[in-house]
């Protein structure tokens, strides 16, 4: 299915996809003419995933990256690695349930934010970029997430999006989005059988692999593999350590003791890594890194590869896992598609060539393929589009259980294999209280429970019903224990299901007998999710975000009015001396010049930090002073702005 085969139903609709990277974010939109990557205010296709708190306002995205050096202790980055993690860092503080909280000095006080709130701020910024590009309010979207994200990390993303005013139609795995953007345009798949493609995404903080099977008009994700602690930043870190040690020996400076110096050296190491991707040797030069000392260094690609040899050896591990789960050999893979910001290191390609026996392909845009796939998925899910049928066999799953109970009980969900979970992630997902059982009259009756893994990859008890019977048959495997009201739902590890990464099975006995139901009653289900936030907290976060957004708007408007006043002073002085000088007498020029100078002095002194209204009043007063010039007994209206300049000689 090509984009020209897509029919747009609504003229003012679009499908939007967000790729929330650890370092940068990309926004893509499906419009009437195709898939476009949206530009930010700096006309860049990638927006830094940074939130910086200034003295009066927040700076996000590119502005946050530019302000990070000025406010290193109030800048939050690496958000993708922080979401869903427990408190481990001394710079952070701990929430009531062990989550990481960020304490920031901002707007004259100390504020504490959860990581969900910080990511919501980033989402709000991306939403603003999106709506500026599209010229209309938009909420529906699809968001890319790593395949290793646990249940409550996914819920955290959904909560953050909700706080920002977004409505995610689906959380889709990064590699699944890449596979969708690959397969939806390709029409030359073989008719002799499925085509197996390995997608390897080496991002800033992680490595993800998926094996996908393609046929004409059809896609199926067979397996996933990942290393959530292997990405481009780890290669940067090794270079940082290398040069920090070198500079300590050569220049006697401890880079780690200075936050700004560490940030500058890290940025220089990242740039050095990119240079080594195309050159066998690269220099490193930083002026006034620390203690007013300039530093320089040099490294060869061969030396760099020796330093990172331990990381390179880990590249093939998720590939082996994905192949094993897909029950395929490396030889059966038809193509390897390599993407991600960290995929450009030549040594990585060499490792993959050795493992798969063929050169990886780089046909897809390494930085934009996830966002494009998310946008396409949004168009497919949105009712505003009619899309030619493309079958994605990677769908959500559900399981039904029939139980015999006489009173309230609960199901408990957890990950069976904790070894594959990210560090600091709880094996518990949550518990679901089912009851009370009205109409059971204290006797055991049949309860049907439907457990679902939805499009977001989140586990929930979708429904529970109670059936009153008019005949009681013997029940095979009936649980006759007096205290058997607790039923454990064993959701396997996040890597066992090819797409949603979780599959469900019940360890309780099922009702296998023959019964005739007379009445069915819906049963109340109360969920208690591990690490989840309450509706009260969510409402509070939304109100807080609205307040902070309003504060940012006020600060920006105040800056605009201050700049308008300053511009008016300089423009009026220039016009008075040149364009309109002959229309004013000496005394008039002197009076206007004095007013301009007084306003300028005020701007750079007590007026440097004023409210918006103060600048408006000064501007109006200044315009009144210079409104009329009296010369040669003629009254000349003296409008100094270009828009309303008009002279009527009498």
Label the pairing between strands 167-173 and 207-215.
unpaired
78: number of Cβ within 10 Å: 14
- pLDDT for the residue numbered 643: 43
Check residue 534 and give its pLDDT: 85
pLDDT of residue 648: 35
Given a contact cutoff of 8 angstroms between Cβ atoms, the answer to whether 175 and 374 are in contact is: no
Q: Give the separation between CA 338 and CA 361, rounded to whole angstroms.
A: 6
Q: Closest Cα partner for 159 from 594, 538, 555, 582?
A: 538
pLDDT for the residue numbered 387: 67
Q: What is the pLDDT of residue 585?
A: 76
CB-neighbour burial class of residue 540 (10 A; exposed 0-12, middle 13-18, buried 19+): middle
Q: Write down the pLDDT at residue 94.
A: 59
- 625 CB contacts (<8 Å, ≥6 apart)? 591, 592, 595
CA–centroid distance for 244 within its chain: 31
Four-point Cα dihedral 47, 53, 54, 59, nearest 10: 20
- Say what the pLDDT of residue 566 is: 92
Count of other CB atoms within 10 angstroms of residue 311 = 21
- Please report the sign of the dihedral spanned by the C-alpha atoms of residue 32, residue 36, residue 38, residue 39: negative
CA dist 520 and 517 (Å) reads 7
DSSP string, 456-496: TS-EEEEEEEEEEEEE----TT----TTTTEEEEEE--TTS
All residue ranges of the chain with pLDDT < 50 are 1-12, 89-91, 471-515, 517, 628-650
Q: What is the pLDDT of residue 383?
A: 78
Residue 644, both tokens: 């309303």
Residue 549, pLDDT score? 95
Place of tokens 């560090």: 423
Q: How far is CA 29 from the centre of its chain?
A: 16
The confidence score (pLDDT) of residue 204 equals 93
Sign of the CA dihedral 356, 359, 363, 366? positive
């Amino acid at each position: 299915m090509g984009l020209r085969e897509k029919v747009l139903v609504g003229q003012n609709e679009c499908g939007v996809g967000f790729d929330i990277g650890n370092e940068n974010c990309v926004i893509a939109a499906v419009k009437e003419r195709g898939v476009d990557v949206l530009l930010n205010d700096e006309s860049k296709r990638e927006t830094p995933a940074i939130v910086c708190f200034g003295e009066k306002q927040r700076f996000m995205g590119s502005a946050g990256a530019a302000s990070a050096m000025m406010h290193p202790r109030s800048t939050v980055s690496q958000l993708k690695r922080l979401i869903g993690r427990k408190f481990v860092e001394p710079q952070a503080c701990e929430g009531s349930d062990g989550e990481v909280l960020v304490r920031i000095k901002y707007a004259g006080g100390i504020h504490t934010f959860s990581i969900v709130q910080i990511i919501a701020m980033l989402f709000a910024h991306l939403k603003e970029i999106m709506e500026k590009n599209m010229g209309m309010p938009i909420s529906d979207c699809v968001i890319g997430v790593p395949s290793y994200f646990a249940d409550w990390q996914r819920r955290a993303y959904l909560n953050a999006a909700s706080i920002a005013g977004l409505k995610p139609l689906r959380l889709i795995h990064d590699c699944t989005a890449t596979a969708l953007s690959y397969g939806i345009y390709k029409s030359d798949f073989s008719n002799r059988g499925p085509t197996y493609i390995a997608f390897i995404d080496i991002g800033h903080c992680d490595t993800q692999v998926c094996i996908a099977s393609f046929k004409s008009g059809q896609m199926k994700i067979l397996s996933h593999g990942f290393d959530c602690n292997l990405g481009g930043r780890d290669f940067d870190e090794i270079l940082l350590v290398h040069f920090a040690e070198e500079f300590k020996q050569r220049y006697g400076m401890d880079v780690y003791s200075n936050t700004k110096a560490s940030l500058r050296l890290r940025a220089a190491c990242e740039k050095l890594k990119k240079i080594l991707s195309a050159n066998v040797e690269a220099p490193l030069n930083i002026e006034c890194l620390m203690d007013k000392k300039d530093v320089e260094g040099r490294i060869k690609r061969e030396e760099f590869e020796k330093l990172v040899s331990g990381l390179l050896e880990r590249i093939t591990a998720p590939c082996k896992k994905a192949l094993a789960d897909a029950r395929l050999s490396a030889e059966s893979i038809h193509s390897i598609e390599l993407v991600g910001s960290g995929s450009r290191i030549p040594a990585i390609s060499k490792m993959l060539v050795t493992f798969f026996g063929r050169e990886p392909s780089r046909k897809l845009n390494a930085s934009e393929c996830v966002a494009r796939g998310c946008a396409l998925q949004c168009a497919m899910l949105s009712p505003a589009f009619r899309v030619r049928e493309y079958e994605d066999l990677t769908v959500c799953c559900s399981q039904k259980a029939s139980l015999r109970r006489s009173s309230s009980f609960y199901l408990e969900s957890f990950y069976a294999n904790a070894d594959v979970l990210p560090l600091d992630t709880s094996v518990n997902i949550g518990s679901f209280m089912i009851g009370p059982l009205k109409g059971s009259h204290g006797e055991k009756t049949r309860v049907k429970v439907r457990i679902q893994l939805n499009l977001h990859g989140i586990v929930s008890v979708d429904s529970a019903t109670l059936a009153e019977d008019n005949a009681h048959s013997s029940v095979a495997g009936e649980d006759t224990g007096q205290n058997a009201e607790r039923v454990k739902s064993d959701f396997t590890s996040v890597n066992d299901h090819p797409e949603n990464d979780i599959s469900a099975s019940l360890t309780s006995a099922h009702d296998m007998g023959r019964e005739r139901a007379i009445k069915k009653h819906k049963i109340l289900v109360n969920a208690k999710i591990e690490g989840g936030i309450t509706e009260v907290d969510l409402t509070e976060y939304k109100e807080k975000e609205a307040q902070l957004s309003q504060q940012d708007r006020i600060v920006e408007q105040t800056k605009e009015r201050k700049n308008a006043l300053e511009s008016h002073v300089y423009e009026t002085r220039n016009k008075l001396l040149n364009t309109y000088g002959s229309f004013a007498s000496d005394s008039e020029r002197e009076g206007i010049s004095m007013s301009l100078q007084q306003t300028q002095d005020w701007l750079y002194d007590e007026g440097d930090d004023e409210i918006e209204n103060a600048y408006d009043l000064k501007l109006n007063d200044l315009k009144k002073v210079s409104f009329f010039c009296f010369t040669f007994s003629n009254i000349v209206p003296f409008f100094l702005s270009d828009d309303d300049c008009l002279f009527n000689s009498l």
